[in-house]
Amino acid sequence: MTARRLPGRGLIDRSRPLRFRFDGRDFSGYAGDTLASALIAANVRVLGRSFKYHRPRGLWGAWTDDPNAIMNVTLHGAELPNCPAATTYAVNGMKARAVNAWPTAARDVKGVLDWFHRWLGAGFYYKTFMWPDWHLFEPSIRAMAGLGHVSRDVLEHYTADRTHDDCDLLVVGGGAAGLAAARAGAEAGRAVCLVDDQRVCGGGVYQQARIDGATPADWVAAQIDAILAAGGRVLTETTAYGVYDHGLVALVQNRGFGTAPRLIRMRAAQVVLATGALDRPITFAQNDRPGVMSLNAACELLVRYGVLAGQRLALVANHSLAAPARTLLAEAGAEIEIYDPLAGPLSALGGRVTTGLRQNGRDRVFDAVLVSGGQTPLVHLWRHAGGKLDWCETRQAFLPGRAPEGMVAVGAANGTFDLDPAIEAACAAGAGRPVPRPKTHFELHPLAPEPGGRQWIDLQHDVTLSDIALAARENYASVEHLKRYTTLGMASDQGKTSNMGGLAAMAALQGKPIPEIGTTTFRPPFVPVPLELYHGHRRGQLWQPVRRLPLEAEHRTAGAALGEYGGWLRPGWYGAGDAAARIAAEVRAARDGAGLFDASPLGKIEVMGPDAQAFLNFVYYNTMRTLEPGRIRYGFMLTEGGVVYDDGVLARLDAQHFVVSCSSSHVDGVRLHLEAWRQDGNDPDRIFVHDATQHWATITVTGPQARAIVQSLALDLDLAPQAFPHMTLRQTRWAGTDLRIARVSFSGDLSYEISVRASQATALWQALAAAGATPIGLEALSIMRAEKGYIIVGKDTDGETMPQDLGFDAPRRKKTTAFLGDRSLHTETAAMEGRKQLVGLSVARGKPPLAVGAHVLADGGPAARSAGYVTSSYDSPTLGRPVALGLVAEGRSRIGATVRVWHLGGVVDAQICAACVFDPDGGRLHA
């Protein structure tokens, strides 16, 4: 008789049978089974293949420590890659397929690779594939590597949930120690949260016959009842996978197969680690064969799933915890033979699977070989949090040493393997009392691996004892070099089973004690978590929501082609059909009559207070202290490095009240910029900065007919050019609401920028449209401003552009007061020749516009070199020929010169001209 399900045992629900497929065969199980437990119950021995040699792999661990049984699992058409069978709860209808094996794990054709193992040892690929070229070999190596295939199908509803949470006491691990700690904490009045990664709490407690006189199940239920009764919480199927700065514990909560899990960012005043310990493998010949299983896995299969791993069992262990395990398995009906690994070299027998064990020349037949070479406390979270580890000679293990702030370890995680002292310590920890590490009754005989045969250290990655020996011989002796050279511990279990074996082997080879070898860094996540865990509902349009205009409904009614510009959803143009023709028509309408443009995203930052004038004079490149109330001035804000950060107009409403109008995409940045300088070096009580951008909608009427259109509003305002000239601002009222009207222009034509309370924008827009203004989109305005030579910062400037490069040199030379970036305008580089300057670029009528991003070639030299580039380029409907702006080295002194413009290998000629090619005298602007 081999592995089988025992009647009446375990925590599975036998009233709920289920069926699933594995590698094309049908199997049955019960609710509560993992894929692994159900397959072992059916005596399936080969559950996977190893990464490199494609050796058959059985189950090693019954939970997160199993590196072997990795499957792609499909349920209801959704396939998840690389699911560990030992932690995937079986669901009726699942289809599982072993990864990296074809056609099945049992009959994987790539198993032949193992024949060549002597040439495929640690790091073999560093020594070959160099001639003629790595690229010749790489594709086939890539195809061989990898575990599961990932489908390119998007799982539509696979959306994680991300939450924040907090508690006084977070207990990680719901075994005996964790339950006791949580209960003690809850009963002491603390807000307790207990997390356990399995569906049923209890950890290894079910391996006990009785606990406090009760059955384990009754005891666990009583503890949970007490925790809940005292107001505590118990989260099952929830794994603490990482501890981050300032004590943040990341929890991942399973929400069922095929549903993305929940991320809980937990803040706990204190964390009790009761994460338990893992069985450590023993290295002996052929110890990778299916059937060689951790002792704890065999016990857990029995007590949780009612599965006996085999009838005839060899038990290989070197410590005192093996005795109760033997009793447990024997009472379940197994025939057990004990092996002392120190009594002589061991070798697992068999072909594809283990059929027995050899020691000292004596062969015995077994169904499975159960192994425990000691206990490895799970200290991952302890290390994430910065806790130290101490080597314990008695236990041959790293135990928690100096504690990180707010964390305490209890139970097996703290090296307390005996139940009663573990519970006692846990109660103290839960209640907030100091936790001494109790004396242990644990006895262990240290083992050192001895050469002989192929002995596996890392089961998934096929790292053997001889690989460790090779690494030592080649002086990859540091533990990190060992890991990286051999790939030890880099498998999907991240070394949970292999690291200690590897350290012990390296220590033995070098004749050093294990602590001198050290450990590699414990990195999160403790268990692999789906990338979706970090994603959640912030997806699609919610990833970075676009900003919406108050007038969006008007634009939609007018047939606007809405697009994203600088984070805002704005009309690019209006009407369907040929976009270029529509845009050109809008330009002509605005140039001939009046255009109506929604400029609402334009920044409107109010700066007020007695020191506002001096402050703005410092913040702007241009002199602003002479700006009179009611007037507007164009200016630049520079970085302290002298680079143009933003441009726009500043309006002065009265002596202590200004409005900074910045580019729509720079509003947040300019606001912070102003705040930073307001508070640094100024008296913040005498300057006040307030971003009112979204309070005001701004509607621009532009074109020769603009005055007539605005006139139709019947405002109490003289619009005559002398009374309301260019670069002035007037405040008035219309239909019971305030208006601010600025005579500024981005089109080059007479323009009124009318700001109105956002809630009144629709009425104003409709009134202006009814008066005959044609709605125009951003594309038309972009053309018009380019015709006029007006720049868009970030498009027509780059991160090196200084104001003198744009033709604004006077403040640099003449401004007498300090201003931001002033000194940087006089560095060697700021003063050098050859700076890129803003110019226009013209091509002959009838030629296509220059490509934006094309480079202007430098004259001379053997090879083509860049002397600048085209930043804006349009077919101008106004002029009937292409217009372009560019940044060109020394461009302003080369007006009239012909340059070669290079784009993707092609060259065209263009002439450098002034940036402004429309109404250079400004007659239309000042009309």
Partner 1 sequence: MGRYSAWNLFREGLRGGRGWQPAWRSPAPKPAYDVVIIGGGGHGLATAYYLTKNHGIRNVAVVEKGWLGGGNTGRNTTAIRSNYFYPESAALYDKSVRLYEGLSRDLNYNVMFSQRGMIVTAHSEPEMEMAARQTNAMRLNGVDAELLDAQQVRRLEPALNFGPRMRYPIHGGVLQKRAGTGRHDAVAWGFARAADAAGVDILQNCEVTDVIVEAGRCTGIATNRGEIRAGVVGAAVAGHSSVLAKLAGYTLPITSYALQAFVSEPLKPVLNSVVLCPPFGTYVSQSDKGGLVIGGGLDRVPSYGQRGNMPVQEAVLGALSEMMPALNKVKLLRHWAGIVDVTPDSSPIIGPSGVDGLYLNCGWGTGGFKAIPVGGYLLAHLLATGGHHALSRPFDLDRFVTGRLIDEAASSGIPH
Partner 2 sequence: MQIFPCPFCGPRDEREFHFAGELGKIRPETTGQVPAQDWAAYLHTQRNEKGAVHEVWIHTPCAEMFVLERDSVSMDVTGARALRGEAAP
Please, which of residues 817-856 interact with partner 2 by CB under 8 A? Answer: 817-819, 822-824, 827-828
Q: Indicate which single residue of 540, 577, 846, 861 sits in contact with partner 1 (rule: CB under 8 A).
A: 540
Binding mask 332-371 for partner 1 (x = CB under 8 A): ----------------------------------------
In the region spanning residues 373 to 402, those forming contacts with partner 1, defined by CB under 8 A, are 384
* Smallest distance, partner 2 to C-beta of residue 248, A: 6
Which of 292, 296, 293, 290 lies closest to 278, judged by CA?
Answer: 296
Q: In this complex, which beta carbon is closest to partner 1, that of residue 143 or of residue 720?
A: 143
Residues 131-170 that bind partner 1 (CB under 8 A): 131, 134-135, 138, 141-143, 145-155, 158, 162
425: enclosing H helix or E strand? helix 419-430
In terms of phi and psi (left: phi > 0; alpha: psi -120 to 50; beta: otherwise), the region of 237 is left
Nearest-angstrom CA–CA distance, 143 and 607: 63
Euclidean distance between CA atoms 732 and 311, whole angstroms: 96
Residues contacting partner 1: total by CB under 8 A = 110
Q: Contact, 172 vs 252, CB < 8 A?
A: no
Phi, psi of 912 (to 5 degrees): -75, 135
Task: Verify binding: residue 793, partner 1, rule CB under 8 A.
Answer: yes
Return phi, psi of residue 115, to 5°: -60, -25
Select the residue interacting with partner 2 from 205, 533, 689, 912 (CB under 8 A).
689
Least Cβ distance, residue 638 to partner 2 (angstroms): 12
Binding partner 1 (rule: CB under 8 A), the pick from 38, 195, 277, 529 is 529
Amino acid type, 899: V
Among 117, 199, 265, 445, binds partner 2 (CB under 8 A): 265
Contact at 8 Å (CB) between 344 and 450? no
User: Is 675 an interacting residue with respect to partner 2 (CB under 8 A)?
Assistant: yes
13, interface contact from partner 2, partner 1, none, CB < 5-8 Å by kind: none
Cβ atoms within 10 Å, residue 801: 24
Q: Using omega within 30 degrees of 0 as the cis cutoff, is the peptide bond preceding 103 cis?
A: yes
Encoded tokens for 191? 């807000």
Residue 387, φ and ψ in degrees, nearest 5: -70, 155
Shortest approach of partner 2 to residue 641 CB, angstroms? Answer: 6
Tell me how far, at minimum, the Cβ of 267 lies from partner 2, in Å.
8
As a whole number of angstroms, the distance between CA 110 and CA 52 comes to 10
716 sits near partner 2 (criterion: CB under 8 A):
no
Tokens of 803: 């104001």
In angstroms, the CA 18 to CA 31 distance is 7
Rounded CA gap, 494 and 694, in Å? 51
Q: Judged by CB under 8 A, does residue 118 bind partner 2?
A: no
Among 19, 93, 109, 125, binds partner 1 (CB under 8 A): 125
Q: Show contacts with partner 2 in window 378-417 (CB under 8 A).
A: 386
Q: Which of 75, 248, 579, 852 binds partner 2 (CB under 8 A)?
A: 248
CA dihedral 111, 116, 121, 125 (to 10 degrees): -100
> Considering CB distances under 5 to 8 angstroms, the limit depending on partner class, which of partner 2, partner 1, none binds residue 484?
partner 1
DSSP track, 778-806: HHHHHHHHHHHT---TTTT--TT--GGGG
Q: Whole-angstrom Cα distance, residue 105 to residue 109?
A: 9
Q: What is the bridge-based pairing of β-strands 70-75 and 595-598?
A: unpaired
Q: Contact with partner 1 (CB under 8 A): which of 853, 859, 920, 922?
A: 853
Report the Cα 798 to chain-centroid distance in Å.
30
Tell me which residues in 217-246 interact with partner 2 (CB under 8 A). 244-246
**Residue 818 binds what, of partner 1, partner 2, none (CB under 5 to 8 Å, by partner type)?**
partner 2
Smallest distance, partner 1 to C-beta of residue 122, A: 9
Binding partner of 921, given partner 2, partner 1, none, CB within 5-8 angstroms per partner class = none
Amino acid letter for position 319? H
Kindly tell me which of 529 and 838 has the beta carbon lying closer to partner 1: 529
In Å, what is the CA distance from 174 to each residue of 41, 201, 237, 244, 753? Answer: 26, 5, 10, 22, 67
- Select the span of 119-127, 319-327, 501-509, 690-698 touching partner 1 (CB under 8 A): 119-127
Q: In the complex, what is the shortest distance from the CB of residue 515 to partner 2, in angstroms, rounded to a whole number?
A: 24
Among 345, 406, 453, 524, binds partner 1 (CB under 8 A): 524
Position 642 contacts partner 1 (CB under 8 A)? yes
What Rg value do the Cα atoms of the chain yield, rounded? 38
The one among 55, 671, 788, 892 contacting partner 2 by CB under 8 A: 671
921 is a site residue for partner 2 (CB under 8 A): no
Query: In this chain, which of 370, 429, 644, 784 binds partner 1, going by CB under 8 A?
Result: 644
Residue 672 sits in the site that holds partner 2 (CB under 8 A): yes
465-473 and 479-486 helices, crossing angle to 10°: 120
Ramachandran region, residue 681 (left: φ > 0; alpha: ψ -120 to 50; beta: rest)? left
Stretch that binds partner 1, among 304-312, 392-400, 508-516, 636-644 (CB under 8 A): 636-644
Window of 230-238, 321-329, 681-689, 785-793 that interacts with partner 2 by CB under 8 A: 681-689
Smallest separation, CB 904 to partner 1 (Å): 6
- Is 682 an interacting residue with respect to partner 2 (CB under 8 A)? yes
Which of 8, 24, 26, 127 binds partner 1 (CB under 8 A)? It is: 127
Coil, helix or strand at residue 162: strand
Q: Which amino acid is located at 694 in the chain?
A: Q
Strands 774-775 and 595-598: parallel
**Tokens of residue 784, six digits:** 């018009």
28 makes contact with partner 1 (CB under 8 A): no
Enumerate binding residues for partner 2 (CB under 8 A): 244-246, 248, 265, 386, 640-641, 671-672, 675-676, 679-684, 689, 816-819, 822-824, 827-828
